[in-house]
Amino acid sequence: MNTAKRSSDVVAKMDHVLHEMCQPLTVLRCRLELGMLRDEPEAMREAVRAGLDECLRLNGAVASMRDVVRQAMSIQDAMQPDVRESGSYK
């Protein structure tokens, strides 16, 4: 696979993960705002619980992004000439 195709694949994966993060962020914000509007202790507790659940979803999306970045870095490193073998510096 050529470099342009690999870069395109990485960008597409990142775009997908970033898109997937928008929904839990919206839910998080709405839940917390609703909890504040009701001004009841139980409503606020429920909003915090729901917000924490959405945070877990976001953590999963961030972990996916890290994996994509690490894969891209591994590909990039594999394509770089080894300084020890070539006798030159990067």
Containing 86, the helix (H) or strand (E) segment is helix 83-86
- The pLDDT tens digits for 2-17 are 777 777 787 888 888 8
Q: What tokens were used for 5? A: 């195709």
Please state, as a whole number, how many other Cβ atoms lie within 10 Å of the Cβ of residue 86: 10
More confident residue, 30 or 10: 30
Residue 59 scores a pLDDT above 80:
yes
Given this model, what pLDDT does residue 36 score? 84
Q: What is the pTM of this model?
A: 0.58
Residue 77 scores a pLDDT above 70:
yes
